[in-house]
Structure 1
Amino acid sequence: MLTNTVRRVGLSVAVAAALTSVAACGGSDDGGTSKGSGKTESHGNSVVKVDPIAALVAVQKKTGQAHSARIEGDTSMGSTMSMKQSGVMDWSDGITGSMKITYTGGTMGDAMKKLGSDGTMEARYFKDGYAADMGETLAQQTGGKRWINYSYDDLEKMAGASGAALKDQMQNSTPEQGVKSLLASGDVKKVGQEDVRGVSTTHYSGTVDVAELTAKNSNLDADDLAAFKKQLADAGITTETVDVWVDENDLLVKKTERGEMKTGELNSTVYYSDYGTKVSVERPPAAQTIDFSELLKEQGATAGAAS
């Protein structure tokens, strides 16, 4: 039970980062090659981008250069899990940051409750992996070690066929990934002007093919990509609708992703604010940390001794 829950937590922590600071799917880095006129119109001293492609290219560039932001959002993945997350992320040199994650439902929430957790945990992200605070329940079984350290190699093994793709995203993607996805989809349109939490924004929307865009934006070999596409098909995932809201400074303010899975709907809503905020993340104390691979060995040894 503990091993399975630890594995699920490791995956959900990665998914939380993928949906908040990167995206659930891949996109093209070459936004400038997307079709579009790039037409602009002058109004007094300001320049208004008429073509959505030209507008989103500017958003991709400006958001990418901002390097850090405060992030808040909620995610539901069918019957698997629903969660809320908030924290800060820096993408100036890989993905680093910290996130408070609260599981509010689904099988993941039930598993956390069975471990004696209230459903809230902290996750810290580093260039080579991430760490999750599992609380006192884990500490009681590991000699005081409440933090589990997951390397990206662990992530690849845990996630099966999609592991290589998720590992690639976590290491190489940045928060403007949703914008890149829209640029690469060829299906982007301007919806209109809307206020988001008191901020005047422009709303853009489009539909992306998950497998196709992951292939365009990843370093996966043919075997990994084929396995990933099969896993997506088995899960019933084909396309996602991605919406972004951007402010007058060409910064991403809000992003939503919606799609269908065999276990239900995928819904993710993320808000971005305080661009340029300072992000400082410390490694958990070594005395309170155990590597995921080491925990599996210990759990296996314990199970063997008990049989």
Structure 2
Amino acid sequence: MNSRSVRRTCVSLVAAGAALAGVAACGSGSGSGSAAPAKEQHKAGSDFSPVAALQAVQKKTDGAGSSKVEVTMSMGTTMGLQGAGDLAWGGGMTGTMRMKYTQGTMAQTMKQIGAESIDARYLRDAYFANMGPTFAQSVGGKHWIRYGYDDMAKLMGPSGAVMKDQMQNSTPQQGVKMLLASGDVKKVGTEDVRGVQATHYSGTVDIAKLVGSSSGLDAKTLDAFKAQMTQSGISTDTVDIWVDKDDLLVKKTERAATKNGELNTTAFYSDYGVKVAVEAPPAADTLDFTTLIKPKTPTQQQG
């Protein structure tokens, strides 16, 4: 594998790995978002509004602390992937996921390097991707790539700063918070989700306004991010969530148009409170992605 392929793969994984983790977030996680205690709102009468109900869901889901997650994601002809694992939140997202690239140009690239499936570990300051033995042979025998959130923010500019905020503040209840911030939430009805009776809520979110209202980022960074979102062709995000009788999120879907095609994600959540244990891979078996994306100097190319 040549150095250009290595760099292209590493940069692609910045977006792909973060996007999968972002299924637990998708809205920036810094804001609080409740006008009144969710418990009080939830007891406001038999005809309480969807907003009051979702405030209870936000509190209960956030307080659960961890869950098992299954997710599928597609974006036009660029990417299709599936993932499953355990994630914990509170003080920064941590956890593990197994990801498989199923379609699109990303899947073709990953197949070429023998890494159609990868294991990911999420820590509070970085996530790690195990690229497998074929990739390791081309980078000195090391299997893991480290993606530091601070480095990702620098590499990706304003949108990277927002991504860093998402990665460090991810919880499933961010989907609930998105609907609360949208001002457009409605109750659809009751449906079966994998054998569980769940209440379905839906709404359309103005992404730029959501980021501005819920993140702690400065105005300059936010303005630049909104410009990048506009260039990507994303203006709104349709969010649907399903909630069980215990006020816990069991399913979420999102749909948004981008220049690379329609972005669709579906996530299922279960086993809230599951124990999550994760640690960084051995340093001797890990490379930092910033060292891999640097172009070779003329001397290195000759060697």
With the length of structure 1 as denominator, give the TM-score of the two structures.
0.90
Paired AA for residue 11 in structure 2: R
Give CA deviations for 1:61-96 in whole Å, capped at 9, x if unaligned.
000000000000101112221110100000032100
User: 1:32 aligns to what?
Assistant: 35
* 8 Å contact kept, 1:56–1:183: yes
Equivalent-residue separation in structure 1 for 2:30 and 2:206 (angstroms):
10
- Deviations 1:260-283, CA, capped at 9 Å, x for gaps: 112211111000000000000121
Using the alignment, how far apart are the partners of 2:299 and 2:80 within structure 1?
Answer: 31
Give the aligned length: 297
Residue identity in the other structure for 1:114 = Q
Q: Which amino acid aligns with 1:88?
A: D
Q: For the Cα contact (< 8 Å) 1:26–1:210, is it kept in 2?
A: no
Determine if the alignment matches structure 1 residue 190 to structure 2 residue 187: yes
The residue that corresponds to 1:234 in the other structure is 231
The aligned counterpart of 1:135 is 132
Deviates more, 1:22-31 or 1:151-160: 22-31
In the alignment, the residues of structure 1 paired with residue 299 and residue 233 of structure 2 have an alpha-carbon distance, to the nearest angstrom, of 35
* Letter of the structure 1 residue corresponding to residue 128 of structure 2: A
Q: 1:115-157 CA deviation, whole Å, 9 max, x = no partner?
A: 133x110110000010001112321122211100111012113
Q: Secondary structure at the match of 1:178?
A: helix
Equivalent positions of 1:174-189 (< 5 A) are 174-189=171-186
Matches within 5 A, 1:64-75: 64-75=62-73
Check the 8 A contact 1:31/1:184 in 2, yes or no.
no
1:26–1:216 Cα contact (<8 Å) kept: no
Identity %: 51
| Counterpart among 248, 264, 275 of residue 278 in structure 1 | 275
Aligned residue among 178, 202, 227 for 1:205: 202
Is the Cα contact below 8 Å between 2:122 and 2:128 reproduced in 1? yes
Mean Cα deviation higher: 9-18 or 267-276: 9-18
- 257-266 or 137-146: bigger deviation: 137-146
Cα distance in 1 for partners of 2:121, 2:299 equals: 30
CA distance in 2, matches of 1:96, 1:284: 14
Look up the equivalent residue of 2:33 and give its one-letter code.
Answer: D
Paired position in structure 1 for 2:218: 221
Alignment equivalent of 2:83, drawn from 82, 85, 92: 85
Residue 304 of structure 1: how far off its partner (Å):
4.1
Q: Which moved more, 1:216-225 or 1:244-253?
A: 216-225
The Cα of 1:10 is off from its aligned counterpart by 2.2
The answer on whether the counterparts of 2:42 and 2:55 sit within 8 Å (CA) in structure 1 is: no
Provide, for residues 175-215 of structure 1, a one-character-per-residue CA deviation record: whole Å limited to 9, x for no partner.
Answer: 20010011111101000011100001100000000111011
TM-score by length of 2: 0.92
